[in-house]
């Protein structure tokens, strides 16, 4: 597997475009389109929130009933959630306008929206934008990057990742983009993410691969414990790499899953790192847990604790808050058996051993916590399983960004 520059346009036959539809933001692009020259196998995972945005309901239906799809049209600024029938109609109009300009069936167009909840999409602007997008498609790396920028809301940078790998002597490319950066606590799904590949694979196995990797990647990040109404991750596989179609869980499938997992992990980490107001990425790794499920619950408890997040923001090695978070996670364990570590490029410090402080160097601990990427390791010493979750610090800017988001 080799890392590549770019995102959704690196795979053979994929193009992207973006436009300024003036939906909510001014003087920036706010609509993007990802298109495969040929129909592609489609799979997706969506929010488990009871409240589902119009594009989520649309996407669930397509993934359930279609073998293939060919495009994803996305807008930022308005989430098209809690908009009832009028919202459903606006969503379908957006898909239909994109379909018309691409000369493909409407049900080959997936949709995604992100932004404020409870506001109706301006149908005229959204359909004009969707139509214009058809004429702006390009297969360059720059076009993929521009699309990743157009779907940003409070994100401070675009998120892209791409790789290539070999399947049966054929070079396969895979790339994706995603956006954060608030209302991030994916649950069996993820935030907006579009992944494209030229791999040939059956629809069933494409869905299996996506559902599998989502659990350890997008589902292991949290910015604010708020599971969004718009979580969507879709993947399109158009087969243009020319490999023999993967139809069983063999070595080729494993190679693909590894590549997909790598891309999703990188996108997920970048979403956590660019969490609203964040200054630091917090990686929480739990080792020697009694089970995989417990390892995940424990790892997530650490990165979702407001008190751990503020302590990391203040570079304060207040490890009592870490063990406290492990303690209320719901997992049973013996606290007098737990060791805690923090680590960064500046070094490693063992904060507590068997549940009691080690008398560590506060100076080095502060230095480690001042770095941009910090790993907290919790050694449960009660088994062989491990898991990693990613989050960010809680800062003044989180409060600032969210104190008056709508205006």
What does the binding site for a second copy look like in residue numbers (CB under 8 A)? 48-52, 79, 81-84, 86, 116-119, 182-183, 185, 187, 224-229, 304-307, 310-311, 313-314, 316, 318-321, 323-328, 331-333, 335-336, 352, 354-357, 394-396, 398-400, 402-407
Strands (E) across 227-372 are located at 232-237, 281-289, 339-344, 347-353, 356-357
CA 32 to each of CA 18, 104, 133, 174, 226: distance values in angstroms, whole numbers, following the listed order: 4, 17, 7, 19, 25
Task: Quote the CA–CA distance of 38 and 131 in Å, as a whole number.
Answer: 19
Q: Are 273 and 178 in contact (CB under 8 A)?
A: no
Task: Quote the CA–CA distance of 33 and 131 in Å, as a whole number.
Answer: 10
178 vs 229, beta carbon nearer a second copy: 229
50 vs 169, beta carbon nearer a second copy: 50
Query: Shortest approach of a second copy to residue 357 CB, angstroms?
Result: 5
Q: Which residues pair with 235 in a beta bridge?
A: 43, 195
Q: Are 71 and 110 in contact (CB under 8 A)?
A: yes
185 vs 273, beta carbon nearer a second copy: 185
Query: Shortest approach of a second copy to residue 313 CB, angstroms?
Result: 5
Task: Quote the CA–CA distance of 378 and 298 in Å, as a whole number.
Answer: 9
190 an active-site residue? yes
Task: Quote the CA–CA distance of 309 and 332 in Å, as a whole number.
Answer: 23
346 vs 366, beta carbon nearer a second copy: 366
Query: Shortest approach of a second copy to residue 25 CB, angstroms?
Result: 17
259 vs 302, beta carbon nearer a second copy: 302
Q: Are 145 and 16 in contact (CB under 8 A)?
A: no
For tokens 């990057």, the residue is 145
244 vs 399, beta carbon nearer a second copy: 399
Query: Shortest approach of a second copy to residue 158 CB, angstroms?
Result: 23
66-100 burial, b at 16+ Cβ within 10 Å, e below that, comes to bebbbbbbbbbbbbbbebeeebbebbbbbbbbbbe
Query: Shortest approach of a second copy to residue 322 CB, angstroms?
Result: 9
Query: Shortest approach of a second copy to residue 182 CB, angstroms?
Result: 7
Task: Quote the CA–CA distance of 236 and 229 in Å, as a whole number.
Answer: 22
Instruction: Name the catalytic one among 29, 127, 190, 196.
Output: 190
Task: Quote the CA–CA distance of 21 and 127 in Å, as a whole number.
Answer: 9
For tokens 């920036």, the residue is 28
Task: Quote the CA–CA distance of 276 and 392 in Å, as a whole number.
Answer: 9
Token pair of 230 as six digits: 């718009």
Active site residues: 190
């Amino acid at each position: 597997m080799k890392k590549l520059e770019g995102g959704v346009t690196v795979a053979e036959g994929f193009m992207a475009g973006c436009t300024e539809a003036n939906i909510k933001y001014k003087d920036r692009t706010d609509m993007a389109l990802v298109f495969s020259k040929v129909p592609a196998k489609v799979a997706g995972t969506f929010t488990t929130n009871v409240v589902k945005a119009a594009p989520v309901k649309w996407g669930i239906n397509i993934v359930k009933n279609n073998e293939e799809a060919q495009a994803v049209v996305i807008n930022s600024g308005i989430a098209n959630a809690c908009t009832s029938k009028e919202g459903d109609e606006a969503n379908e109009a957006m898909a239909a306008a994109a379909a018309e300009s691409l000369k493909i069936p409407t049900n080959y167009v997936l949709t995604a929206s992100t932004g404020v909840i409870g506001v109706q999409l301006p149908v005229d602007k959204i359909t004009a934008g969707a139509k214009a997008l058809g004429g702006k498609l390009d297969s360059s790396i720059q076009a993929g990057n521009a699309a990743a920028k157009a779907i940003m809301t409070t994100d401070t940078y675009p998120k892209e990742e791409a790789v290539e790998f070999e399947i049966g002597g054929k070079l396969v490319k895979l790339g994706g983009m995603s956006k954060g950066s608030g209302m991030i606590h994916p649950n069996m799904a993820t935030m907006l993410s579009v992944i494209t590949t030229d791999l040939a694979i059956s629809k069933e196995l494409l869905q299996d691969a996506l559902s599998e990797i989502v659990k350890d990647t997008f589902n292991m990040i949290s910015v604010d414990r708020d599971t969004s109404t718009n979580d969507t991750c879709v993947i399109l596989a158009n087969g243009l790499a020319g490999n023999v179609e993967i139809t069983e869980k063999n070595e080729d499938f494993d190679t693909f899953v590894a590549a997909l997992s790598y891309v999703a992990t990188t996108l997920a980490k970048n979403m956590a790192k660019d969490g609203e107001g964040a200054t630091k990425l917090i990686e929480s790794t739990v080792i020697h847990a009694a089970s995989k499920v417990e390892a995940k619950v424990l790892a997530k408890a650490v990165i979702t604790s407001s008190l751990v997040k503020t302590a990391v923001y203040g570079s304060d090695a207040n490890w009592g808050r870490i063990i406290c978070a492990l303690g209320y996670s719901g997992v049973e364990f013996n606290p007098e058996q737990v060791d805690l570590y923090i680590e960064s490029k500046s070094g490693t410090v063992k904060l507590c051993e068997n549940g009691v402080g080690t008398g560590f160097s506060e100076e080095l601990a502060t230095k480690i916590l001042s770095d941009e990427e910090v790993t907290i390791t919790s050694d449960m010493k009660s088994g062989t399983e491990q898991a990693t979750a990613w989050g960010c610090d809680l800062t003044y800017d989180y409060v600032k960004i969210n104190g008056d988001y709508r205006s």
